[in-house]
Chain A
């Protein structure tokens, strides 16, 4: 009996809405999810680029501004536990965090959207000395930009699965580590995410 109630509730939740494709998000909406990607770290005066894979999580909430435009606030984080500042080194942990105002634009009646935002970004780098000892942490705070494109796949009247191919750019200034100093650091994170959107 209990199982049938749960199945009925789940089917009700997953059944497509009667009104068709639109609106994918309306009124107040909330989206959360995660994904995989890689971070690319560059600095001024050097063409050496450090990159490594990692995982991302995000949470965003917002409102509908018009038929095609949504406004929201997004909190995103990226963790890379295999970063190194020179070839063969994977001893560092890089974490970036951002809080942005984002605009989502649905140009057509389908669930396809383009996304762009600007806000605050912070990068944290934890390095464990090769000879042992306490890890060293350095931080940089600055400006963040994000943009990308995605798709809302509606699975019920109030819920959609949301996929996005996105880029987060974080200009976080100088980061000083025991072994190196990185001037005017820019971390570019390219990631593919999947999330759930509730409206």
Chain B
């Protein structure tokens, strides 16, 4: 127990230093996050004529006096756009040399000042959660992704800067202020994570709503991205290994899931105890679910003959705040609920040299609604994914998954929905491994 505690403490101590190539400027970071609020508020008030942006001393006083509420914004606004906005605060700090843990309070500060002073509406507790915790998750993912895309030594430097701009605008702004976009500086350490993997799936997706007895097929693209590898690279800093999956379909961005390592052992081992931060957002034509979670569990790497490997993972999680469908119930205009919860998940993947060929997974979550319906939501998600290689990089992928939701309402009958889903894809995979990998 004592050794476990010592290892845990040592892991966090490692990240107290900022990125080596940047001067540490906390005051500038805080100033930029507050100025970001002023700029966004004035654009909404002057350019888009939004009434909610006409805040002033009267609404500030009212907000300080009356305090928090739960808002009724759309699902995508609350569970995707607010985390993206929070990522801007967080990356104002990261772009000014603050470490992950030092940048986290800046996300909370930016969110708090926006909620109290940026809108005429009362401060929203769900926004504060989503902007702060989601902003930390998406902010660090986008900070590292943008650093990977940018390359100070590339001939296509301008194109790379533009490609990284939507992910990390605050990084772009600060590079411009410091004239780093054109100077011959070395790339930051985040530029080369060691292991990188990209898999693109393009094809069709068929989903069924059991309640409405309705199915539909839509063209869909899935992007899987892996940054770092927990088994190949011992823990150095939060999010030095993360995975994201983006699903683009009939509603634009249908899903975005990110899982980043917050803590892991500092030595290479085939069985790892990991603590991750998780960002979940799924908003398709059949169901909606999302939230901010922390999970802890065990990942194992089993070596098989001929370079094959089996990866297993099992986690328990705490949902800090989640959002889930509550059709015809919800709160006011909002037809989904907010609440904390928890759950478990597992995944088994068979692969070779960083490429997965067969995966089987399951997840079960519980959300206790504290805003919306008087309900407890039980969610289940599971299925398999098969990729049959057609060449070195090309393959044929088949996914079969099912999403289940059982909402136990205190004042009305239970609502049970089942959404089976089939996806058929052509896949393209590219994997870069560190040189030390056997």
Interfacial residues, chain A to chain B (CB-CB below 8 A):
40, 42-45, 47, 49, 63-69, 71, 105, 114, 116, 118, 120, 140-143, 145, 147, 169, 171-174, 183-184, 186, 188
Contact = CB atoms under 8 A, between A and B. Distances in A.
Interface string B346-374: 00000000000000000000001111101
Contacts of A184: 69-70, 331, 370-372
Given A66-B15, A169-B68, 8 more contacts: A49-B66, A63-B8, A105-B105, A142-B370, A143-B339, A171-B70, A171-B371, A184-B331
Contacts of B331: 44, 183-184
Most chain B CB neighbours (cut-off 10 Å) among A44, A140, A147, A186: A44
Interface string B63-82: 00111111000000000000
A186 B69 contact: yes
Interface residues of B, number: 34
**8 nearest A-B pairs in the assembled complex, by CB-CB distance:** A142-B370, A173-B370, A65-B12, A143-B340, A184-B371, A66-B13, A66-B16, A171-B370
A145 to B, nearest CB: 8
Contacts of A64: 9
A47 B66 contact: yes
Contacts of B165: none
A64 B339 CA distance: 31
Given A44-B331, A120-B340, A142-B370, A69 B5 contact: no
Nearest to A174: B374
Nearest to B338: A171
24 contacts: A42-B66, A44-B332, A47-B122, A49-B67, A63-B5, A63-B8, A66-B15, A66-B16, A67-B16, A68-B16, A71-B12, A114-B105, A120-B340, A142-B368, A142-B370, A145-B129, A147-B108, A171-B68, A171-B70, A172-B370, A173-B374, A184-B69, A184-B371, A186-B125
A186 B371 CA distance: 10
Nearest to A144: B340
A186 to B, nearest CB: 5
Nearest to B319: A143
A42 B437 CA distance: 57
Given A40-B67, A143-B321, A143-B340, A69 B101 contact: yes
B332 A45 contact: yes
Contacts of B9: 63-66
A118 B321 CA distance: 10
Contact of B339 (A40, A68, A105, A173): A173
Contacts of A105: 105
Contact of B68 (A42, A45, A114, A147): A42
A31 to B, nearest CB: 18
Nearest to A48: B66
